[in-house]
Structure 1
Amino acid sequence: MEEKVEAYNKKNAKISIGSKEYRLNALKYKSNDDKLELMREWFFDNYADPIDLPYNGREGGYQYIHGGPYYASEELFGTFSEYIEERFIQELVDELDEINHEWGGNADTSDWYYDQFDDIINPDDAGVDLLAKPLRSFNESLGHIKDMVEIPIKPEKERYLLGMLQVNTITAMETYLSEVFISSLEIDQKFMFNFLSNSRDYQKETMHLSRLFDSPSDIESHIALVKKKVKEGLVDKLWHNLKDVVVPLYKNTYGIDLPREIGPIYVAVSQRHDWVHRNGKSKEGELVEISKEIINELIAKIEELVTFVDTSLKALIPDDDKFDVADEDPGF
């Protein structure tokens, strides 16, 4: 009897990713790439980099307020070992261990979680105003960082201040890139279409026609819910991952090719975990090089990138939405 129950449970076991459910027993029919991608999505849906958690040195470091620390090997093998070949699970474990060895639990992404992003998910602005808030916030953050770079400090402590500022500079960049991307979806309906057409997250979504054609108001309501769901999903992307997240998103959605001459940014992103998790040391135990010159070069490159993105997005705004009331003909 116990064997029958165990077989039944194994056959009907499911995992959830967002609002979708997958039968684990059906994974054997998927391609190897699809197996890896589904496991990756499941992991990031449930576990988060501790860098986003509160930190308290007196309390032992990162505060795992949503559970943890968790380890990729334990979580992935514990969930998928009965359904996916060990070598594929180990491949993803190695990838995740390169990012971090310990993970925290994700917050409950219910409505209260997304309320803090309400001005981005449900903007009241149009045209150029959609781009103004993210840029203003970025400039304010970078202004504080520039001021802190020049704070007089003892040489033996300067290294730690500059390391913190390097991490904060990357955070300011990724916040801007995420906020302005999400806000700009409102510029034209074709951009939401472009995103959905190229996103693997939504290619397998199904929709009943009856939900569209009950009434005109139902159509509008359904479109609004789709847009809300898309934006909430974008909030959770890893926006410091330029190569795999930011570059393809901007290209596929807005047709914007980000500049290639941003080497210092890639270097700083790769060092982000060295500062946050290894106190400024590489995996080999070597000190990460840091100086005011390096920070200032990074700031300059990120400002160039942000200026390029801002200019490129403004060029996509219809001329009618660029019209400034201050330029209006006074009538004489």
Structure 2
Amino acid sequence: MSARASRDSTALNATVVTSQKVREGRADEYQRWQDRTNAAAREFEGFVGAEVYPPGAGEANEWVAVFRFSAMDYLTAWLNSDRRQELLDEAHELFEGPPTQEVLQGGSPAQPAPQVVTAVISHEVKPGCEEGFLNWQEKTLGEQEKAPGFMGSELFAPVAGVQENWVVVFRFESREYLDNWLGSDVRKKLLEEGSRYFTSYDVRKVGSSFSGWFRFDHGEDRSAPPNWKQAMTVLLALYPTVMVLNLTVGYGLEKLEIREYIGLFLSNVLSVSALTWLLMPTVNRVFAFWLVPARVRTRRAQVLGIALVVFCYLVFIGVFGMITGQIW
């Protein structure tokens, strides 16, 4: 999906990302207040979820709160409610200045990804420069996709009467990758070019992927390998596991004359445990260059990954064929 296509999204989900700079030494009070705020939001119709993210290392005590509702009407009812205003008035002394917020309409649910960091960038676009801004944004996305660790982005258009700025949300595999992109020469040149189209922009970093609240369709990554790769790697770990258990535990259970259905259950417990805590983590690390979508940037890497998995299949088949004496 292109940035331009995202502008026309008909998804009804609505999210507000609020950034609040908490005064030094008042973080505990803020968290208690935020808990009450989250509880108040839950009472409103259409509430989906709320999350709070503390400041990252070296950041200026800036907390980010994210609220999601099932539709824009429900979100605006919460934002404009007397109850929320009462809570904001109550916490006035906790903040160094008024909170800033971006309202995002759309975004498809996806699976969460550990270690991911998200950036939320709000742009105040000059009147009449929307088309140029979109073209610039697509060019920026093209460069961003080349950056190490990039996992995807979404562009959110202004919401009439609620949110005037254009907001882009993108994520990287780690804070280091994100910081490298934000400080890169390529991005600096792009910002110089983009200054023709927007008067200001604001960047916030969140140490999360919003628990998978956005699919980030603009990137090559969907935060998980395609199903066929998952199937290939599971088979790679499952086949030797089952063979080893059959040749060892299975033989022992047969000697003990344990009933077949009980023996099969015990074997499954062992195989699932081995896969979950030992073999699949190892396979995922070894084949990360091929499994993690953001890292597969060339056809050569794609072919190499497939070839290595198939080679391992053949090795296992040969080894177990010799062990069982059935190689020919």
TMscore range, shorter length = under 0.3
TM-score (norm 1): 0.26
TM-score (norm 2): 0.27
- Which structure shows the higher strand fraction? 2
Greater relative contact order: 1 or 2 (C-alpha under 8 angstroms, separation 6 or more)? 2
Which structure has the larger Rg over C-alpha atoms? Answer: 2
